[in-house]
């Protein structure tokens, strides 16, 4: 799998950061991923470059549907352009094909089709520092929507452990803490909040973490 550690993903991260922590704003996350896909094929070996570049072009054709909230249209496509479902299937094994699969899962999340989102996102795996964590976290969001808290906790833990960075880790530590709270595991929730404060004091999540710690410790 391609690794973007040598590619500057920070511009993408900054553009989606404000929306990233809101469970309902999957669209902004995936729009950032689309931008990464354009560069992704340069990291693939030569026998995949042409196919990956072709898939990139198809993904871009669905940007309008996706950004305007026509998620079903982005999944299905039309006579003029293949949708994510077709791209995911026909370009399986390419970086852009993985992006299409991810975007399809995010589309299902926006449509409230959480089982479809889980089935799709379970097939997604990225080694990339940011994208890999986001994909695991999106799976956790789908589980959380269905009330499958243990699975959500597992996915959020995977997202936290994917890579130690100040962008994704505090976001998913907060989601992990909230999930623990929902099953009355307050000690584990406190531990997650305390890690945010200790390890990521400059993050947005740290601003409220101390308050949540105090509330939980008072119970």
The pLDDT value recorded for residue 60 is 74
Q: For the segment 47-71, what is each residue's pLDDT rounded down to a tens digit?
A: 567 776 777 777 777 877 887 889 9
**Most confident option among 11-20, 43-52, 57-66, 182-191:** 182-191
In Å, what is the CA distance from 51 to each residue of 48, 84, 86, 91, 156? Answer: 6, 15, 14, 7, 33
The pLDDT value recorded for residue 81 is 87
Check pLDDT > 80 for residue 26. Answer: no
Q: For the segment 138-185, what is each residue's pLDDT rounded down to a tens digit?
A: 999 999 999 999 999 999 999 999 999 888 999 999 999 999 999 999
- Of the chain, the percentage scoring pLDDT greater than 70 comes to 76
Instruction: Compute the distance between CA of residue 113 and CA of residue 35 in angstroms, rounded to an integer.
Output: 25
The predicted model scores a pTM of: 0.80
The pLDDT value recorded for residue 30 is 57
């Amino acid at each position: 799998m391609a690794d973007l550690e040598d590619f500057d993903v920070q511009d993408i991260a900054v553009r989606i950061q404000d929306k990233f922590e809101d469970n309902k704003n999957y669209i902004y996350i995936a729009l950032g991923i689309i931008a990464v896909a354009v560069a992704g094929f340069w990291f693939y070996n030569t026998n995949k470059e042409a196919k990956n570049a072709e898939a990139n072009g198809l993904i871009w054709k669905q940007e309008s549907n996706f950004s305007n909230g026509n998620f079903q249209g982005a999944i299905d496509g039309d006579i003029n352009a293949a949708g994510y479902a077709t791209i995911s299937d026909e370009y399986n094994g390419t970086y852009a094909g993985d992006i299409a699969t991810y975007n399809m899962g995010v589309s299902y999340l926006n449509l409230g089709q959480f089982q479809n989102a889980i089935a799709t996102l379970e097939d997604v795996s990225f080694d990339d520092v940011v994208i890999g964590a986001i994909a695991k976290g999106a799976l956790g969001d789908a589980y959380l929507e269905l009330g499958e808290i243990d699975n959500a906790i597992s996915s959020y833990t995977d997202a936290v452990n994917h890579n130690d960075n100040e962008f994704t880790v505090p976001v998913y530590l907060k989601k992990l803490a909230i999930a623990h709270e929902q099953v009355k595991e307050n000690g584990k929730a406190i531990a997650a909040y305390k890690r945010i404060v200790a390890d990521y004091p400059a993050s947005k999540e740290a601003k409220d973490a101390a308050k949540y710690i105090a509330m939980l410790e008072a119970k």
